[in-house]
Amino acid sequence: MDLDVIFLGTGPSVPSARRNTAATLIRIGGDRLLFDCGEGTQRQMQQSTGLVALDDIFITHLHADHYLGLPGLIKTFDLGDRSEPLRIYGPRGLISLWESIRRITGTAGYPVELVEMEAGEALERDGYAVACFGVDHRVAANGYALFEPARPGHLDAGLAERLGVPPGPAFGELQRGSAVQVPDGSTVSPDQVMGAERPGRKIVITGDTRPCEATRIAAHQAQLLVHDSSFMASESERAGETGHSTAAQAAEVARDAEVELLALVHISGRHFVPEVLEEARSIFPNAQAPRDFDLVEIPFPERGAPELVENGSRAGKGPPAREQLAAESN
C-alpha cells in the first residue's frame, strides 16, 4: 500500500508568502486524511494535489491557525455536490466549535460527523489505524499516530517444498498462520518456513506542543515524526511559556524515540530556517524543514528509508487518488 505525506502548511500562526498555516495530508492506499486545517488549506490543495475527497480530518487543538480553513473547505465540498460523509476528529471542545462554524457554512448537503477523541483511543481502518495521544500545549491538544500492523514474514518456498508442502493453497495457509498436513501425514507449521515478522510503518504528528514523554512513546521507531519547532534553543524559556518546542528539543525527542526522519514545522517567521536546521541536526542529523508542497515518500522498511521530495505534491509524485484507483480496477 502506497504511503506519503504532503505538507500543505508548514508555517507558524501567521502565514507568510512561502509558508501557510498548519495542514498535513496523508495519502495511504486510496484514503486521504488531513491533519489540521489552517486558513487557506483548500487553496493549498488546489495548487498541488487538487481538491481531493478527504475521508477524515484530524484537528490537533482548537487554536485558530489549526482550524480556520474548515469553513471554506466544508463549503467548497458542499458546492461541489459532495455526498459522502466527512468525519472530523479533535480534542474536547470540537463539537462546541462546530456549532459556531456551522453559522458560517450553513447546513452542508452531506453528513458531517464530529468526534472528540481522548488519549488512548484509536480508529481502525482497512490496513492501518490512527491513535490519539495527549501532548503538552496550553489547551487540550491531541497528537496523532498513524500506524500499520506488523506483516507476516516471507515464505521460504524452497524449504516448504523440501518439507513436503505442495505449492498452491497450502502455501497460502502457511502465510495466513495455519499449519498444514503434508502427504506423508506429518504437519508443517508456519514458524518452520516463514521468515521474521516485518514491521509496519508509522507516522506521528504532534501539532503544537512542548517536548513530552507521550510523544517519545508514540513516535518510537516511527518512519516520520512531524514535530513543532517554533523556537530556537536560545528561546527555550519562551517556548515553554507558550507551549511550544525548540528545534533542539524536537531533535532530542526524535533521537530518543529512534525515528528515521524528523520534519520540523511551525517554525517562527523570525528565524532563518538553515539555522533552525543546523541546531536540530547537531542532535539528530536526519532532520528536515519541509516547505509547503514538499512530500515525504514512505516505503515499507525493507524497501528503503523515507525520502523528502521537494515540491513533490506539484510534480505528480505519490499514489493515485481513490477515484483513479477505482477506475483502474474496473
DSSP for 170-199, please give it: HHHHHHTT--EE-TTS-EE-HHHHB-PPBP
SS3 238: helix
Residue 2 host element (H or E): none
3-state helix, strand, coil in the chain (%, to 5): 30, 25, 45
Q: Exposed (0-12), middle (13-18) or buried (19+): which is 322, by Cβ within 10 Å? A: middle
Spatial CA neighbour of 222 closest among 281, 305, 303 = 305
- State yes or no: is 65 an active-site residue: yes
Given 65, 208, 228, 292, which residue is catalytic?
65
As a whole number of angstroms, the distance between CA 34 and CA 59 comes to 8
As a whole number of angstroms, the distance between CA 83 and CA 148 comes to 29
DSSP for 300-312, please give it: -GGG---EEETTG
Compute the chain's Rg from CA coordinates: 22
Residues annotated catalytic, as ranges: 65
